Chains A and B, each alone.
Chain A
Amino acid sequence: MSGLKIKDLKVGYGRNEVIHGLDLEVGPGEKVALLGANGAGKSTVLKTISGLLTPSEGVISFNDDEIGGSSPSALVDKGVIQVPEGRRVFPGLNVEDNLKVANYGKSPEFLEEGLETVYKKFPILEERRKQAAGLLSGGQQQMLSLSRAIIAKPKLLLIDEMSLGLAPLLVKEFYEQLGDLFSEDVTLLLVEQNAGLALKYCSRFYVLRNGELVLQSDSAEYVDNPVALQSAYLGVDA
């Protein structure tokens, strides 16, 4: 068991390289944040770990298992689960079908169990379980997106900008709930633009700028002054 290890990762879209050699580690059960400004390449990193993108160079391993370039479905089987940016619920499917999809290819027993857990944490989803997910509010869609991840039973959880488009108060609630939604020993890599929130929840963080790592540190050093990170984000003195 050695958690997530990324060595010299290069990846991009077509011929356009976006990540130019990234080294990153998340220990087993550790909670780590990946920060950076718009377009820094955070989502690209997550999509590569979850198999949506194939690395052009470098090694990705999880618990000593080399996973770089595996298909998303193979990675889901290994417990690598991504909560995508923008929630990405299936708008035309009802809430329960959305949750069923998260149990795809697995025994219906797991689904029953999962539904019970999820409905206990988010009763509103049970109330609206026959409604199209596209009709839910943004916050409820985020609940649904997180719930899909709960049902998928992650070992390595990748969450991409949970705060996107949500009211600050709601986002705060989600962060306070995170520890309760997933088990202690889930390894977490969390992408966030809102550094203040991420630092409170994660013990360490990395900052990405234009596809390069520009800073890594313990959260404790910045948690009371996240504004100081701005210079790292933007590459200017704040």
Chain B
Amino acid sequence: MVDYIQIAWQGLVSGFAYALIGLALVMVYKTARILNFAAGTMAGISGFLAHWWAAEQDMPFGVAILFAMIMTGAGTYVIERLTVRPLVKLGDFLPIVIMTLGVEEFLANVSLLWWGGTARRYRVPGDIDRINYLIGDFRLNAWHLVVAITTFLTLSIVGYIINQTELGLGMKAFAEDQDAAKLMGIKESTVSIWTWVLSALVGGVTGIVFAPVLFLQQDYMNIIFIKGFVAAILGGFLSLSGGVAGGLLLGELEAFTIKWAPREFAAALPVVIVFIVLLIRPHGLFTREKGHERV
């Protein structure tokens, strides 16, 4: 029994990463109808900055995280203005998506030049990632607890912004009907840029908090990005809570597959899931089928 709880907890912790990246992807897609293929690499750079500043530049951990988040926000602001905005005016979906792929390639190479290709394991304050509590036979890693709390806080803050602030209202209005939102005086470029920044900050938190779990490597967020993408698909790509739920579900499926099936199968799991979901419920597991897009 404890065995199952242990596996379920492990799945939940991985699921947090997929859920957060899924949320970041859905957010941008839903409001701006853009798929951001650079999301994973951007999140990885946030993680690198924070841990590199803390471990190699002797910055206090909290300050390093703060600086990394500021850099993430500012960098994303610049990226959106320079690469996305000029293409949005042309009104086509594909060029923008290709542009985000270009940004991904560029950032991946920058971080490779900066940090090199070897994996590192930076220490976190108090080495708390090496502390394990035993509750009966259940083993609880202290850093995993930090991951859980951070995820919960991040989701709460995003929920608050979406549901209680004017920016959130604008994002929702835009997601529902762009032209009608414009006719209400909502500025497309303002909503778009803050959506990008918010999405990148969610990604940044993920990159930072999961770096000690994953080993810091130049492309360590790529695999999380792919699974975040799967999470978003599970959720139908248009539902924020669907993306989060999809991430948690994927984490659990993965954890229990590893337990019972050969490793090779576990690695193929995301692809299998996407295939099945797209075949049977293309609008996602958690959203009811919507009518066709209004014209």
Residues on A with beta carbons closer than 8 Å to the beta carbon of B179? 52, 84, 88
- For the complex, is B185 an interface residue (Cβ under 8 Å from A)? yes
**Interface pair A101/B177, CB less than 8 Å apart:** no
Residues on B with beta carbons closer than 8 Å to the beta carbon of A91? 176
Q: How many interface residues does chain B have, given as a range? A: 10 to 19
The docked-state distance in angstroms from the alpha carbon of A115 to that of B185 is 18
Choice from A73, A77, A148 contacting B182 with Cβ under 8 Å: A73
**Interface pair A52/B182, CB less than 8 Å apart:** yes
CB-CB contacts below 8 Å: B161-211 with A: 166, 169-170, 172-173, 176-177, 179-187
**Interface pair B184/A101, CB less than 8 Å apart:** yes
The docked-state distance in angstroms from the alpha carbon of A148 to that of B182 is 13
**Interface pair B182/A72, CB less than 8 Å apart:** yes
The docked-state distance in angstroms from the alpha carbon of A82 to that of B185 is 11
**Interface pair A93/B173, CB less than 8 Å apart:** yes
Residues on B with beta carbons closer than 8 Å to the beta carbon of A51? 182
Residues on B with beta carbons closer than 8 Å to the beta carbon of A100? 169
Residue interface bits B19-39, CB-to-A below 8 A is 1, else 0: 000000000000000000000
Grouping DSSP codes into helix (H, G, I), strand (E, B) and loop, the A interface class, with mixed when no group exceeds half, is loop
Choice from B172, B180, B184, B294 contacting A76 with Cβ under 8 Å: B184
**Interface pair A102/B184, CB less than 8 Å apart:** yes
| Tally of A interface residues using CB under 8 Å | 26
Residues on B with beta carbons closer than 8 Å to the beta carbon of A105? 166, 185-186
**Interface pair A104/B185, CB less than 8 Å apart:** yes
The docked-state distance in angstroms from the alpha carbon of A72 to that of B187 is 8
The docked-state distance in angstroms from the alpha carbon of A92 to that of B180 is 13
- For the complex, is A152 an interface residue (Cβ under 8 Å from B)? yes
- For the complex, is A174 an interface residue (Cβ under 8 Å from B)? no
**Interface pair B184/A148, CB less than 8 Å apart:** yes
**Interface pair A84/B183, CB less than 8 Å apart:** yes
Residues on B with beta carbons closer than 8 Å to the beta carbon of A76? 183-185
**Interface pair A88/B185, CB less than 8 Å apart:** no
Choice from A82, A86, A93, A97 contacting B183 with Cβ under 8 Å: A82
Residues on B with beta carbons closer than 8 Å to the beta carbon of A201? none
The contact sample of 18 A-B pairs, CB cut-off 8 A, is A52-B179, A72-B182, A72-B183, A73-B185, A82-B183, A84-B180, A88-B179, A88-B180, A88-B183, A88-B294, A90-B173, A91-B176, A92-B172, A92-B176, A101-B181, A104-B169, A104-B173, A105-B166
